[in-house]
Amino acid sequence: VIGEVGWWDELSTFLETRVRPEVERFEKAAEFPAALFRDLCGMGMPAAAISSHPQRVTDYYLSLSLISREWLALAESVHLHVLSMRALTAHGSQELREEMVARMSSGELIGGNCFSEENAGSDLAAIAMSAARTSDGFVLNGRKLWVGHAPIASLLNVYCRTGTPGAAGVSCFLVDASTPGITIEPAVDKMGVKSLPTAHIHFDNVEVGANRMLGRANRGLLIASEVFAHGRLGIAACAVGLAEATVAHAVAYAKSRHQFGNPIIAFQGISFLLADMATQTAAARALVERAVAALQSGRPAPLLTSQAKLFATDTAMRTSTDAVQVLGAYGYTSESPTGRWMREAKLLQIIEGTNQIQRTVIAGYL
C-alpha cells in the first residue's frame, strides 16, 4: 500500500506484471480497465491523494508519474477520480463525506467532473447550465461536454449557474449519475486515451437535494480553482512519466539500431537530440517536484503549478515527437508505442487549462 515500506517495489511489480501486458489491448478495444483501476484504488492511491499527510500526497504524485510511464490513461483515470473526490472531501457535509468518501477511495463509486459546456471551455465563467431553486433542493437543466468517466461514473460534480452572470454565480453539486433525467451520450471517439471513456451528458429536469450543493452558493468556481491546483499538478506529474518513457525507449532503440556500420546513437544528430530530450525531462521532473513540495507546504503556489504544467506537458509533446524521429519508420507504426505517446502528450497540453491558459496565468504573475 502507498506510504508503506516496499511501496515503490510493489508498484513497479504491479506495473510490469499486470499493467504492461494489457495497455495495447485495452487501448485498441477502447475498453476501461476496471479491475486495474480498482486495484490502484485498493493500493491506496485516492486515500493518499486526499490525505493530510504531506509525504503521502507527494508519494501520490510520484506514483502517478510512474504509472504514466506505462500507461497514461490509467494514471489519468485515477487522477480525475481523485479530483472528483476533492470537492466532496473539502466542501461536502459530514453526512455526505461519511456516505461517499470510503466508497470512492476503494473505487466502488467512480467520480467524474462536469465543467465544460458548448460555450464554456477555457472560460468557465461562461457556464450556462442552470440549477434552479425548488422548495427542497434544485432542478438542473443543460448539457455538459467531454466528461471523463461519464459512461462508468456513479457520481458527478456538476458546475451550474445559480446566480448572476460571471464567475461569482456558479455552484457545484454532487449528483448521482443514475438520477432520472440524466442521459449519457455515446462515448466520444478520441485520438488517444481511448480506454478512458469520455462522453457528453444531457441533464433534463434533474432533481437534487439541497444537501448536494458542495460549499457555498455561487462560490463553485473557487472550488474549481482548488481542484485545478491539484489537477494541473497531476497532469504535470503524468507528463513527466510519459516523457521519461519516451527518453528510455528512444535511447534503447538508438543503441540497438545500426546504420552506416554504427549504432545510430553514435551520430551526433541523434545523440544531441537524445541529450536534449533527457535534459528537458530532468528539468520537468525538478520543476514538478518543486511544485508538489510547495503545494504540500500549505502555501498555494499557482504560478509554480502553472509553470510545471506548461513545461512538463510541452516537454512530453517534444520528447514524444522526437522519439518518433529517433525510431524512424518503426516509430511511425502501431508496433511501436511512440505514436500512442504523441497522441497522449497532445491531450496533456489541452486539459486542466490549455497551455495558452497556463501562459496567461504565468504572464499575469509577471
Binding region for ligand FAD (CB under 6 A): 80, 113-116, 121-122, 146-148, 190, 198, 347, 350-351, 354, 356-357, 360
Q: Which is nearer to ligand FAD, 118 or 204 (CB)?
A: 118
Contact of 314 with 345, CB cutoff 8 Å? no
Q: Residue 366: which residues within 8 A CB-CB, separation 6 or more?
A: none
Name the DSSP class of 31.
-
**Shortest gap between Cβ of 345 and ligand FAD (angstroms)?**
13
Q: Which is nearer to ligand FAD, 322 or 352 (CB)?
A: 352
| DSSP SS3 for 141 | strand
How far is Cα 276 from Cα 255, in angstroms, rounded to an integer?
Answer: 17
**Shortest gap between Cβ of 16 and ligand FAD (angstroms)?**
27
**Shortest gap between Cβ of 4 and ligand FAD (angstroms)?**
31
**Shortest gap between Cβ of 123 and ligand FAD (angstroms)?**
6
Alpha-carbon dihedral of residues 219, 223, 226, 227, nearest 10 degrees?
-150
Strand partners, 140: 131, 206
Write phi, then psi, for 124 (nearest 5 degrees): -75, -15
**Shortest gap between Cβ of 269 and ligand FAD (angstroms)?**
32
**Shortest gap between Cβ of 122 and ligand FAD (angstroms)?**
3
Q: Which is nearer to ligand FAD, 148 or 339 (CB)?
A: 148
Question: In the bound complex, which residue of the shown chain has the CB atom lying closest to ligand FAD?
Answer: 121
Q: Which is nearer to ligand FAD, 14 or 311 (CB)?
A: 311
Q: Which is nearer to ligand FAD, 312 or 347 (CB)?
A: 347
Q: Which is nearer to ligand FAD, 80 or 310 (CB)?
A: 80
Cell numbers placing 277: 530530450
Name the DSSP class of 120.
B
| DSSP SS3 for 142 | strand
**Shortest gap between Cβ of 97 and ligand FAD (angstroms)?**
22
Q: Which is nearer to ligand FAD, 175 or 274 (CB)?
A: 175
Contact of 85 with 97, CB cutoff 8 Å? no
Convert 294-344 into a string of H (helix), E (strand) and C (coil).
HHHCCCCCHHHHHHHHHHHHHHHHHHHHHHHHHHHHHHHCCCCCHHHHHHH
